[in-house]
Amino acid sequence: MATETVQPIRFVGQACGQLELLDQTLLPQQLTYITCADVETVWEAIKMLRVRGAPAIGISAAYGVVVGLQTATGKSDEEFWARFDEVTDYLAESRPTAVNLFWALNRMKEKALSLKAAGKSIAEVHADLLTEAIAIHNEDREMCHAIGKHGANLLHSGQGVLTHCNAGGLATSEYGTALSVFFTAQDQGKRLHVYVDETRPLLQGARLTAWELMQRQIPATLICDSMAAQVMKEGRVQAIVTGADRIAANGDSCNKIGTYALSVLAKYHGIPFYIAAPSSTFDLSIESGDEIPIEERKPEEITNGMGKRTAPEHVKVYNPAFDVAPAELIAGIITEHGVISPVNKENVAAMLSSGG
């Protein structure tokens, strides 16, 4: 029997309440929640990957707006709206790649402007913005379940599947995106064996995905990233499913570094490579993956992995956090509306405009 999925994000109380985030940097050793009583704590949690995964970042940022406005609720209208701009601009600086961050902040801005135009009081605006953040949270939960249903239809009982990084409940609101496909298949009675890339250098696959699958009692085998090709060659894998942090208009999909390599390997071995992501992950303002900004993180994540130095002092380091799988290597993008296949600009636009 499957156990309950962990809730990585929860808001306690009314608009003047507090946001609680599961600190994913401490998993799997500790299950600890951070209390975010100010927007600076929310920003730090997003920046330092205490909360991670594009949908979870967006949800946390929406709640972060509510938390950040708590210091302005007793002030003048002018001061409140100045604080609103300050908070949203500040949160937008936390991570550059995950489009859900900007999508959620823009949605909160649009909601705030409509409330302002309607003549709502500061207290009413603050309360209604919490309602909007909760709606974003709940909608993501529903989207994840819908993604799981569409994706599970692509898999068959007895198959081996491979995933990269963490695109489960920890990265979203409940079931996740890529892992929702596996969780839903399990709910349907399908037996899968999941091969989990460790996902260097921060080991999200080893620390988080393996843990989530074990919580759900889904058979899983952890492998080094460099073992993926051998596992495919041996015929252990019949499908690959990963998440995405930003998808361009043509279907090029940006995800955790190492995803591009998997898409190339999958093509060579004749294995379908799928991306699972909600519609909020698409950025139609970007024509192709060449335009997606790639975050480069600190050298210490490689030279001092998990707190231990494993490289010579002063060695040069290149540490891009993401790469892009080209649309032509993707068998299908699994969304809450259905599966986009073949993946191209026309089919992406048709799926998003029609809602399925």
Can you tell me the distance from the alpha carbon of 151 to that of 176, in angstroms, rounded to the nearest whole number? 12
Q: Between 281 and 319, where is the model more confident?
A: 319
Domain spanning 9-144, CATH architecture: Up-down Bundle (1.20)
Q: Which residues pair with 93 in a beta bridge?
A: none
pLDDT at 1 (0 to 100): 39
Q: Which residues pair with 332 in a beta bridge?
A: 274
Can you tell me the distance from the alpha carbon of 197 to that of 308, in angstroms, rounded to the nearest whole number? 21
Can you tell me the distance from the alpha carbon of 53 to that of 84, in angstroms, rounded to the nearest whole number? 25
Can you tell me the distance from the alpha carbon of 65 to that of 88, in angstroms, rounded to the nearest whole number? 6
Taking the alpha carbons at both ends of the chain, their separation in whole angstroms is 32
3-state secondary structure at position 232: helix
How far does CA 21 lie from the centroid of its chain? 14
What digits encode the pLDDT tens for the residues 120-157?
999 999 999 999 999 999 999 999 999 999 999 999 99
pLDDT at 5 (0 to 100): 59
The domain segmentation of the chain, as residue ranges, is 9-144, 148-354
Taking alpha carbons only, the member of 224, 249, 229 closest to residue 240 is 229
Q: Token digits for 61?
A: 């940022």
What digits encode the pLDDT tens for the residues 289-316?
999 999 999 999 999 988 899 999 999 9
Q: Catalytic residue at 245?
A: yes
List, in order, residues 6 or more apart from 225 with CB less than 8 Å away: 164, 197, 198, 199, 200, 258, 261
Asked if residues 97 and 322 have their Cβ atoms less than 8 Å apart, the reply is yes
pLDDT of 98 strictly over 80? no
> Would the CATH topology of 9-144 be identical to that of 148-354?
no
Q: Is 304 exposed, middle or buried (0-12, 13-18, 19+ CB in 10 A)?
A: middle
Ramachandran region, residue 270 (left: φ > 0; alpha: ψ -120 to 50; beta: rest): left
For the chain, the average pLDDT equals: 95
pLDDT at 94 (0 to 100): 94
Q: Is 314 exposed, middle or buried (0-12, 13-18, 19+ CB in 10 A)?
A: exposed
pLDDT of 221 strictly over 60? yes
Q: Token digits for 3?
A: 């156990």
Q: Between 169 and 315, where is the model more confident?
A: 315
3-state secondary structure at position 35: strand
What digits encode the pLDDT tens for the residues 2-42?
455 568 999 999 999 999 999 999 999 999 999 999 999 99
Listed in sequence order, the DSSP H helices in 35-117 are 39-47, 54-68, 77-92, 99-117
| Active-site annotation holder among 245, 252, 283, 323 | 245
- Model's pTM, two decimal places? 0.85
Can you tell me the distance from the alpha carbon of 171 to that of 165, in angstroms, rounded to the nearest whole number? 10
Q: Token digits for 192?
A: 């899968």
pLDDT of 102 strictly over 50? yes
Can you tell me the distance from the alpha carbon of 264 to that of 254, in angstroms, rounded to the nearest whole number? 14
- Lowest-confidence segment of 50-54, 113-117, 209-213 by average pLDDT: 50-54
Q: What are the φ/ψ torsions at residue 240 (nearest 5 degrees)?
A: -125, 135
Beta strands in 220-306 (DSSP E): 220-223, 239-242, 246-248, 253-256, 273-276, 282-283
Can you tell me the distance from the alpha carbon of 22 to that of 166, in angstroms, rounded to the nearest whole number? 15
Taking alpha carbons only, the member of 281, 275, 278 closest to residue 262 is 275
How many other CB atoms are found less than 10 A from the CB of residue 3?
9
Q: Token digits for 262?
A: 């998997």
The CATH class given to the 148-354 domain equals alpha beta
3-state secondary structure at position 277: coil
Asked if residues 36 and 65 have their Cβ atoms less than 8 Å apart, the reply is no
